[in-house]
C-alpha cells in the first residue's frame, strides 16, 4: 500500500478535451465491456473492461493523449486558443509547414505521435530502444514516420531524443524529468477523455440501480502519464481504490513510493509489457502518483501472459500491458488452494467485497502478434500454474 497517499493534495481533473476528440474524423468512445466470468472468478459484483484495443484505428489508448497534447503545443506556437481551434482548422493553418514531431517510444506512443503527425501533414521521427519487437517498429513505419533504433534502453532513447530536438523537430515526450515541462501534463489531460467515457457509462448504470463509481480501478503504469490522469480523476477522495501495475524489473513508481521521492530502477530486462518498461516515473506525473494511488503491484511476464489468456476468455484479444492488470488482479484475488486466506486479506486491503465493481484499463490490443500467439499457447487457466510466482506489492 502507498504510505504517501494524500487525497486532499491531488489536483482537480482538467476539463476533458472531448470536444476536440470528437472533431477528429472517425473518433468514437471505446467500449466498457462487462466481464461477468471475471467477476465470478474474483468474487466481486462487477468487472468492467475499458477496451482500448482499437482506438481511432490504432491498437492503444495513446492517440487520445497525443492528439490533445500536440494540438495544445501547436496552438501555443501559433498563438491561437486550443479550446477554440478545431483540429481541422489547425491542419489548415499548418499546410505547407516543414515542422516535424520527434519522440522516443517503445511503440504505442511513437505510433500515436506518428499518426497525429500524419493527420496534420507533419513529419515524424521516432526513436526506439534496441529491444523493441519488430512488429512494433513496422507499425510505426507504416504511419509514415522515420524510425531510428537506439542502442540502450528506453531512458537512453529519451535522452537521445532530447539531444536531437530543435525548432523544426519538436520534442513531444509523454514523460519528463523536469516537473514544469508542460507537454507530458497535456498528454495526461488528453487521457481524461478515457475517464469521462467511463463516467458516462457508470452514470447510465447508476440510473438503472448500479454503482455510480468503480470501487477499484487498475492502471498499468509506465512513465505515469496515464496513471496521473487516473489519479486526478479518481484519487481526490478516500473512497474507491486505485491500483497501479508495473513489471518487476521496471517498478519505478513502486520504488519511488517506498523511497518517498523519485528513484530510478535499471529497467534493463526486455519484457513483452514494453510500454511499461520504464525505470523512472515522469517528474510531471510523480506528485499525482504519490498522492493519488492507494497501492502498486509488480508482476512478472508469466503473470501478464496469464492475464492475456483470461482476457481472451472474456472475449478481448489484448497485449501484455492489458494482460498485466488482469493478471495482477487474478494474483491478488483468486482464492485458490495455495492462496485462499491471503487472497481474502488482499480483497479487504483493496476495499473489495461481493458487491464491488472493478474497472480494468485494457490499454493495448495485439501489438506483438508473435508474443500474443505464444501467450495463448502457454498454459492452463488455473491459479495454481503461477502459485510459485512472487507478486510484490507496495
- Is 36 exposed, middle or buried, given 0-12, 13-18 or 19+ CB atoms closer than 10 A? exposed
Nearest approach in angstroms of CB 123 to ligand PLP is 22
Q: Which is nearer to ligand PLP, 223 or 316 (CB)?
A: 223
Q: In Å, how far from its chain's centre is CA 134?
A: 21
* CA contacts within 13 A on the Cβ side of 272: 29
Give me the 327-366 binding string for ligand PLP, x by CB under 6 A, dash otherwise: ------------------------------------xx--
Question: CB nearest ligand PLP: which residue?
Answer: 275
Q: Which is nearer to ligand PLP, 303 or 383 (CB)?
A: 303
> 286, 329, 346: which is closest to 4 by C-alpha?
286
Cell of 294: 492507494
Nearest approach in angstroms of CB 364 to ligand PLP is 3
Bridge partner residues of 295 (DSSP): 243
Nearest approach in angstroms of CB 220 to ligand PLP is 4
Give me the 131-160 binding string for ligand PLP, x by CB under 6 A, dash otherwise: ------------------------------
Q: What is the CB neighbour count within 10 angstroms for residue 84?
A: 8
Nearest approach in angstroms of CB 352 to ligand PLP is 23
Q: Which helix (H) or strand (E) holds 1?
A: none
Q: Are strands 357-362 and 392-393 parallel, antiparallel or unpaired?
A: unpaired
> 273, 271, 252, 272: which is closest to 263 by C-alpha?
252
Say whether residue 245 binds ligand PLP (CB under 6 A).
no
Q: Which is nearer to ligand PLP, 97 or 264 (CB)?
A: 264
Give me the 362-391 binding string for ligand PLP, x by CB under 6 A, dash otherwise: -xx---------------------------
Residues 257-276 interacting with ligand PLP (rule: CB under 6 A): 275-276
Say whether residue 231 binds ligand PLP (CB under 6 A).
no
Say whether residue 288 binds ligand PLP (CB under 6 A).
no
Member of 70, 122, 226, 265 binding ligand PLP (CB under 6 A): 226
Sheet holding 357-362, edge to edge: 32-34, 46-51, 357-362, 216-220, 241-247, 295-299, 392-393
Give me the 79-118 binding string for ligand PLP, x by CB under 6 A, dash otherwise: -----------------------------xx---------
CA distance 105 to 316: 25
Q: Which is nearer to ligand PLP, 106 or 347 (CB)?
A: 106
Nearest approach in angstroms of CB 196 to ligand PLP is 17
Nearest approach in angstroms of CB 135 to ligand PLP is 14
Say whether residue 321 binds ligand PLP (CB under 6 A).
yes
Member of 13, 82, 190, 224 binding ligand PLP (CB under 6 A): 224
DSSP string, 348-380: HHTT--TT-EEEEEE-B--S-HHHHHHHHHS--
Cell of 242: 486505485
Instruction: Answer yes or no: are the C-beta atoms of 49 and 316 closer than 8 Å.
Output: yes
Say whether residue 58 binds ligand PLP (CB under 6 A).
no
Say whether residue 60 binds ligand PLP (CB under 6 A).
yes
CA distance 110 to 141: 10
- 3-state SS of 4-61 is CCCHHHCCCCCCCCHHHHHCCCCCCCCCEEECHHHHHHHCCCEEEEEECCCECCECEC
Member of 49, 102, 221, 254 binding ligand PLP (CB under 6 A): 221
Give me the 177-216 binding string for ligand PLP, x by CB under 6 A, dash otherwise: ----------------------------------------
Nearest approach in angstroms of CB 61 to ligand PLP is 7
Q: Which is nearer to ligand PLP, 185 or 222 (CB)?
A: 222
Helices 134-142 & 108-120 angle (0-180, nearest 10): 10
Residues within the interface to ligand PLP (CB under 6 A): 60, 108-109, 174, 220-227, 275-276, 321, 363-364
Amino acid at each position: 500500500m502507498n504510505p504517501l497517499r494524500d487525497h486532499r493534495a491531488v489536483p482537480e481533473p482538467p476539463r476533458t478535451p472531448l470536444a476536440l476528440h470528437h472533431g477528429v474524423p472517425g473518433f468514437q468512445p471505446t467500449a466498457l465491456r462487462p466481464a461477468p466470468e471475471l467477476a465470478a472468478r474474483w468474487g466481486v459484483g462487477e468487472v468492467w473492461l475499458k477496451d482500448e484495443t482499437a482506438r481511432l484505428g490504432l491498437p492503444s489508448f495513446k492517440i487520445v493523449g497525443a492528439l490533445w497534447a500536440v494540438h495544445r503545443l501547436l496552438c501555443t506556437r501559433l498563438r491561437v486558443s486550443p479550446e477554440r481551434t478545431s483540429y481541422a482548422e489547425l491542419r489548415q493553418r499548418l499546410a505547407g509547414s516543414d515542422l516535424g514531431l520527434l519522440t522516443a517510444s517503445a511503440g504505442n506512443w511513437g505510433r500515436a505521435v506518428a499518426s497525429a503527425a500524419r493527420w496534420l501533414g507533419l513529419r515524424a521521427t521516432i526513436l526506439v530502444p534496441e529491444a523493441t519487437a519488430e512488429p512494433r517498429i513496422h507499425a510505426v513505419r507504416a504511419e509514415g514516420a522515420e524510425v531510428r533504433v537506439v542502442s540502450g534502453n528506453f531512458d537512453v532513447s529519451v535522452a537521445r531524443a532530447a539531444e536531437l530536438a530543435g525548432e523544426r523537430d519538436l520534442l513531444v515526450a509523454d514523460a519528463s524529468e523536469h516537473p514544469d515541462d508542460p507537454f507530458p501534463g497535456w498528454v495526461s489531460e488528453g487521457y481524461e477523455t478515457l475517464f469521462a467515457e467511463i463516467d458516462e457509462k457508470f452514470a447510465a448504470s447508476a440510473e438503472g440501480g448500479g454503482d455510480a463509481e468503480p470501487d477499484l480501478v487498475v492502471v498499468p503504469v509506465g512513465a505515469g502519464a496515464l496513471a496521473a490522469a487516473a489519479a486526478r480523476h479518481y484519487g481526490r477522495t478516500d473512497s474507491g481504490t486505485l491500483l497501479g501495475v508495473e513489471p518487476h524489473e521496471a517498478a519505478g513508481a513502486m520504488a519511488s513510493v517506498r523511497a518517498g521521492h523519485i528513484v530510478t530502477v535499471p529497467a534493463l530486462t526486455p519484457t513483452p509489457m514494453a510500454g511499461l518498461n520504464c525505470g523512472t516515473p515522469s517528474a510531471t506525473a510523480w506528485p499525482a502518483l504519490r498522492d493519488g494511488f492507494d497501492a502498486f503491484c509488480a508482476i512478472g511476464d508469466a503473470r501478464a501472459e496469464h492475464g492475456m489468456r483470461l482476457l481472451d476468455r472474456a472475449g478481448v484479444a489484448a497485449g501484455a500491458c492489458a494482460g498485466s492488470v488482469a493478471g495482477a488482479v487474478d494474483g491478488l484475488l483468486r482464492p485458490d488452494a495455495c492462496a485462499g486466506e491471503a487472497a481474502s486479506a488482499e480483497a479487504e486491503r483493496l476495499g473489495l467485497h461481493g458487491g464491488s465493481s472493478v474497472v480494468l484499463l485494457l490499454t493495448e490490443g495485439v501489438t506483438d502478434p508473435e508474443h500474443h500467439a505464444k501467450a495463448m499457447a502457454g498454459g492452463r487457466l488455473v491459479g495454481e500454474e503461477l502459485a510459485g510466482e512472487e507478486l510484490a506489492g507496495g
